[in-house]
Amino acid sequence: MRALAVVGSEDECAARLRELLSTGLDTLIFPLAGRGRVERWRRIRDGILGQIIV
């Protein structure tokens, strides 16, 4: 897979990422250009990744 965007609510994104990881995908990249990177990373980490990484 070259590139894919996952968009939606935190729960929708977490569900889609779980689906992708179940296919054998082993790397996720979150480009966070521009202002507010730290806050966006916290939202991704806490709201999405916290649901799929145990």
Give residue 13's pLDDT.
96
> Which amino acid, residue 37?
R
pLDDT of residue 18: 94
The tokens describing 17, both together, are: 């990422």
Instruction: Say if residues 8 and 16 touch (Cβ distance below 8 Å).
Output: yes
Amino acid 1: pLDDT? 66
Tokens 């980490």 identify what position?
45
pLDDT value at residue 37: 95
pLDDT tens-place string over residues 1-54: 677 899 999 999 999 999 999 999 888 999 999 999 999 999 999 999 999 987
- Asked whether 14 and 48 are in contact (CB, 8 A), the reply is yes
Q: Could you tell me the residue ranges of all domains in the chain?
A: 10-52
Q: What is the dihedral of CA 11, 19, 49, 51, to 10 degrees?
A: 60
Contact predicate 6/15, CB 8 Å:
no
